[in-house]
Amino acid sequence: MLFLYNLIVRIAGFLLKIIAFYSPKIKLFIEGRKVVFPTLEQKIKPFDKTIWFHAASLGEYEQGLPVIEKIKEKFPLHKIVVTFFSPSGYEVRKNNTAADVTVYLPLDTKKNAQEFLKLVHPDLVFFIKYEYWLNYLSELKNQNTPTYLISGILRENQMFFKWYGGFYRKALDAFTYFFVQNENSKKLLLQLGKTNVAVSGDTRFDRVAAILEKNNALDFIANFKNDTLTIVIGSSWPKDEHLIVDFINSNNYNVKFIIAPHNIKEEQIQQLKNSITRKTILFSEKENAALAEYDVLIINTIGILTKIYSYADIAYVGGGFGNPGVHNILEPATFGVPIVIGPNYSHFAEATALVNLEGCTSVSNKKELDAAFTNLILNEVERQEKGHICSTFVQMNKGATNMIMNTISKFGTH
């Protein structure tokens, strides 16, 4: 079966090179990997001590960031190496300040795994949430490198739990310890005989809780808001925006809207702006503008949405009308903001929990969206109650990072 796995990886690598001619995203995927080994040779010397974190994409990086920061404090002489599998993670965070070296993870061939680990020679390794690359894990096991899964989630439909998944189950032997998000994941690992497991929760709670300690002020947002009730629409997709624009254009309430689309391509931003009948301005047009006179502000840049949520009275988080589903709801939640989302959220434990707690409202159509917004606009008491539920939920679930660090201290490095 391992032979078949390696064959599939090689075939996939070949096909991706062809697809790259037609897909800008896949081209980034291919081109970015061409410079990985030269970059590692340049930035990591044989005598350097290193610690390696692997994140599939942007969400996993954000999830691992609290642990990265604590590890840097504990091991200040080590270089931090961060790898991404996806361009959507690497391209956004390739210039992050948390890591000393940030690169793509080369495709999981035995040769690549051996070369990568030879150049990086990590003392500790962390895989964030998921992605179990068999050749990398096999080499880490052979080299007896302490390897941890953090904020892990396991489900019954994964390969480990299939009758034919023996070679995948064997790969789990590489992990020194599993830090998982919930009891079900622990139960599944125990079924495989893995007792080196603890329910630590989700490190994202630590990350978003720490946001409150930072300076989240944005003067231009304060000027736009102008002490008016404001709805922030974060990470929206066209399916979200279609319903929201209808509400923006038809409502008669004294309310302002800030829209931060997931995709900020100029053509789509202009289409969005043109569809709104209220007085609308783009982030890129804000200089010397009287922002308080506008009803809608569209954020056609990246990197400031978290701070914008601190100004929200109500938040709508996009993605819930598509697959795999809703984007990160914890950032508005930490600021005590009531949240509205689309119907596809069942794959996200924090969204499911907040819907059940009634801090977050799920809507499936225009009628439900209008009702949810109207209720929160008109009912200040309910707005505050739902916001309190959200902020309390974040505070009650933090602490995963400390548990991870305390356990790692017992094992040390090799």
CB atoms within 10 A of CB 342: 25
Query: Nearest-CA neighbor of 203 among 71, 397, 351?
Result: 397
Exactly one of 31, 41, 60, 368 is catalytic; which is it? 60
Q: What number of CA atoms fall less than 13 Å from residue 252's CA on the CB side?
A: 0
Query: Nearest-CA neighbor of 147 among 118, 180, 123, 181?
Result: 123
41 in active site: no
- Percent helix, strand and coil across the chain, each to the nearest 5: 50, 15, 35
Pairing mode of beta strands 296-298, 280-282: parallel
* Paired strand residues for 124: 51
Q: Is 399 helix (H, G, I), strand (E, B) or coil?
A: coil
User: Cα 45 from chain centroid?
Assistant: 31
Cα–Cα distances (Å) from 388 to 229, 339, 350, 385, in that order, read 17, 11, 15, 5
Query: Nearest-CA neighbor of 258 among 214, 212, 306?
Result: 306
Please, are residues 151 and 181 in contact by the beta-carbon 8 Å criterion?
yes
Residue 170, C-beta contacts closer than 8 angstroms, at least 6 positions apart: none
- C-alpha radius of gyration, the chain, whole number: 23
Query: Nearest-CA neighbor of 202 among 218, 188, 216, 185?
Result: 185
Residue 116, C-beta contacts closer than 8 angstroms, at least 6 positions apart: 36, 37, 40, 105, 106, 136
In angstroms, the CA 31 to CA 17 distance is 9
In angstroms, the CA 142 to CA 171 distance is 11
* Paired strand residues for 362: 341
Cis peptide before 106 (omega within 30 of 0): no
Please, are residues 117 and 143 in contact by the beta-carbon 8 Å criterion?
yes
Quote the tokens at residue 141.
Answer: 């096991």
Q: Is 306 helix (H, G, I), strand (E, B) or coil?
A: helix
The residues carrying an active-site annotation are: 60
